[in-house]
Amino acid sequence: MLLFPSASLDSWFLLLDSFFLYLYVMKVYGITNCNTVKKALDWLKANHVAYEFHDFKKLGISPEKLDEWDKKAGYEKFMNKQGLTWKQLDPEVKESIKTSADALKLLQQKTSMIKRPVIEKDGFLFFGFDETAYGGLIK
């Protein structure tokens, strides 16, 4: 048994509480200046939903995370071909996307092409903002 004499019982409960909150908190991926992300974050705050925010622009996205999303939903679900980033790509780059590996490599380089926000919680994965879907998540 390890003893830490400087830690009070209250501080241990606070630490455990923080740990469990981390385990069950929603993770939101996006870009802070995206209007859809702003709407989603405002909705989460208004509904008192705890979340951790991951900013694609500052933190990037790992190949493992993109692969996980691809396995769960398929890259077509979160590769935004309606946005400016896709539209500004050279036609050769667009045509070179033939496999999920090609798409995921491009998405890691150009995170602005990921449909936002991405919501993860307890196995739930959602791309975009939809109040009805979010409402079902917090019940």
Instruction: Write the DSSP assignment of the chain as a string of letters.
Output: ----TT--HHHHHHHHHHHHHHHH-EEEEE-TT-HHHHHHHHHHHHTT--EEEEEHHHH---HHHHHHHHHHH-HHHHB-SSSHHHHTS-HHHHHT--SHHHHHHHHHH-GGGB-S-EEEETTEEEES--HHHHHHHH-
Assign residue 108 a region (left: φ > 0; alpha: ψ between -120 and 50; beta: otherwise). Answer: alpha
* Catalytic residue IDs: 34
